[in-house]
């Protein structure tokens, strides 16, 4: 299986405080006349695969629906099973757009950070107005129209206190898949914050059919497959190994027109094989994100082999809560 994450725009209608792409967005988008090159690249890379996944990303991808639906239309004639998804803040989810998304069987990942009070702490527009009312309206309409909807709750130091209330609220709204995703990039996490979240996760155990934390499974992480099993295509047709690295200097591994630079791809794989000295002897090391995601380590700590203590703490929480390693009741 190969996964293609396509940045259809860098523009966004929100200025979320925790966005790892930065609050100020670039005024760039994938042009319609570049679609044939993207299609050719996907078909070439995925020709031997039984199926592929295509995820539309941004910015807010629904600001460029023309490109999204044209890509789907052109790929429809390809004799290949394709699973589509789209990550959105939900604000632009109105009936005509949802009908098109449904036509191409595009599943939705919608950002909703729980109840209005906590959602609006970070997810605001250019005038610092909260986005909850518009986002929940679009998300509920998607549910009403029978769309496949996944809710992504970003947990931050200033909203984690509402995690339990938020999950219960979203379940009451009818959402069946809710994933909590900590903001790894915040420098404000404390040991107390993380312990408080652990206590909240214990309270949420009864909702584990609908709610998950980091979507963790106990499985060995392996070596980074960025550029091999996953390609991230930026608006200018440059290619990056993962979503966190898109647009960042030094991480480009090719272009849609010239293909993957195998030397750079090999360098990523080589770095991925290097051990993290700080993780030596840790029983979680083979399963932890920090052992696989050397690029994320570099972005967060400045060293590919230096794990982020924040990620380390949250990885442990995920295992403790959902795989009962420490038999939490």
Q: Shortest CA distance to 18 belongs to which of 195, 163, 184, 129? A: 184
Whether 9 and 121 have beta carbons less than 8 Å apart is answered as: no
CB atoms inside a 10 Å sphere around CB 240: 24
Six token digits for residue 48 = 């031997």
Q: Shortest CA distance to 233 belongs to which of 11, 38, 19? A: 38
Residue 295 to residue 171: CA distance in whole angstroms: 34
pTM for the structure as a whole: 0.93
The predicted pLDDT at position 206 comes to: 87
Tokens 């980091």, residue located: 214
The predicted pLDDT at position 253 comes to: 95
Give one DSSP letter per residue of 154-209, joined into a string: EE-TTTGGGHHHHHHHHHHTT---EEEEE-TT-TT--HHHHHHHHHHHHHTGGGTT
Whether 205 and 212 have beta carbons less than 8 Å apart is answered as: no
Give me the tens of pLDDT residue by residue for the chain, a chain 329 residues long.
799 999 999 999 999 999 988 777 889 999 999 999 999 999 999 999 999 999 999 999 999 999 999 999 999 989 899 999 999 999 999 999 999 999 999 999 999 999 999 999 999 999 999 999 999 999 999 999 999 999 999 999 999 999 999 999 999 999 999 999 999 999 999 999 999 998 998 888 888 888 887 765 555 677 888 888 899 999 999 999 999 999 988 899 999 999 999 999 998 888 888 999 999 988 888 888 888 899 999 999 999 999 999 999 988 887 776 555 434 34
Six token digits for residue 55 = 């995820």
Q: How long is the chain?
A: 329
The radius of gyration of the chain from alpha carbons, rounded to an integer in Å, stands at: 20
Residue 232 to residue 104: CA distance in whole angstroms: 21
Residue 171 to residue 197: CA distance in whole angstroms: 19
Distances (CA, A) of 169 to 2, 118, 130, 174, 273: 35, 12, 18, 9, 42
């Amino acid at each position: 299986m190969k996964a293609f994450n396509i940045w259809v725009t860098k523009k966004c209608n929100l200025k979320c405080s925790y966005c790892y792409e930065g609050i100020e967005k670039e005024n760039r988008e994938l042009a319609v006349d570049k679609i044939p090159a993207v299609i050719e690249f996907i078909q070439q890379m995925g020709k031997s695969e039984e199926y592929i996944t295509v995820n539309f990303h941004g910015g807010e991808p629904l600001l460029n629906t023309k490109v999204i639906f044209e890509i789907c239309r052109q790929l429809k004639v390809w004799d290949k099973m394709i699973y589509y998804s789209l990550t959105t803040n939900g604000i632009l989810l109105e009936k005509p757009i949802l009908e098109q998304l449904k036509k191409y069987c595009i599943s939705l990942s919608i950002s909703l950070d729980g109840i209005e009070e906590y959602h609006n702490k970070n997810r605001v527009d250019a005038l610092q107005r909260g986005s909850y009312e518009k986002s929940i309206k679009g998300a509920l309409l998607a549910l009403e129209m029978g769309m496949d909807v996944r809710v992504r709750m970003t947990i931050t130091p200033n909203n984690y206190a509402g995690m339990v209330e938020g999950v219960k609220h979203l379940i009451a709204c009818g959402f069946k898949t809710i994933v909590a995703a900590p903001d790894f990039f915040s420098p404000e996490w404390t040991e107390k914050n993380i312990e408080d979240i652990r206590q909240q996760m214990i309270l949420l155990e009864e909702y584990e059919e609908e709610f998950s934390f980091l979507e963790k499974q106990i499985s060995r992480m392996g070596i980074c497959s960025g550029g091999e099993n996953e390609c991230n295509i930026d608006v200018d047709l440059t290619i990056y190994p993962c979503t966190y690295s898109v647009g960042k200097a030094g991480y480009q591994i090719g272009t849609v027109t010239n293909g993957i630079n195998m030397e750079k791809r090999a360098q990523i794989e080589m770095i991925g094989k290097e051990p993290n000295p700080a993780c030596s002897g840790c029983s979680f090391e083979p399963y932890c994100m920090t052992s696989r995601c050397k690029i994320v380590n570099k972005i967060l700590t400045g060293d590919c082999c230096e794990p982020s203590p924040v990620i380390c703490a949250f990885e442990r929480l995920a295992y403790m809560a959902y795989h009962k390693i420490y038999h939490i009741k």
